Amino acid sequence: MENKFRGFYMILSRGVIVADEDTSALDIARLMQEHNIGAVIIMRGEQVVGIVSERDIARRVTANELPSKATKAKDFMTKQVVTAEFKDGLDKIYEILCNSKFRHLPIMDNGKLVGIASQRDVIDSLLANKKKETTT
């Protein structure tokens, strides 16, 4: 997904995959496998209430030998979710990802979830913008 703002293009992951708080760790892992993604946003209605990454499943479920079918997202998700507003632009998104320990950042537009940016998305966007600058 490519979005334009402030004269730059931001490439967001192919789509944002969401689940609810009662989704099992196994089902979240299967979503990640099916969509070839590294994180799933956990929603309560229209509100972002958590995020689950591959690392969360490995460290909080598997390493603690929790049953993946019975362990719900609400039991192991990251609850303090950092987000960025789309209008803040690529530089701000880059800054947040560089200064944090996570690799996926939910992107909001006026408080609504519109996508997710991975570190790879940001690097690809920066390279695309750099290439665009050199060709114009």
CATH of the domain at 113: 3.10.580.10
- For 7-65, the pLDDT digits (tens) are 344 455 556 899 999 999 999 999 999 988 899 999 999 999 999 999 999 999 999 99
Please state, in angstroms and rounded to a whole number, the distance separating the CA atoms of residues 17 and 81: 15
Structural domain total, the chain: 1
- For 59-97, the pLDDT digits (tens) are 999 999 999 999 999 999 999 999 999 888 888 888 898
Token pair listed for 104: 């996926």
DSSP codes joined into one string, 5-47: ETTEEEEPPS---EEETT-BHHHHHHHHHHHT-SEEEEEETTE
Print the domain residue range for 116. Answer: 2-135
pTM of this prediction exceeds 0.85: no
What is the reported pLDDT for 3?
45
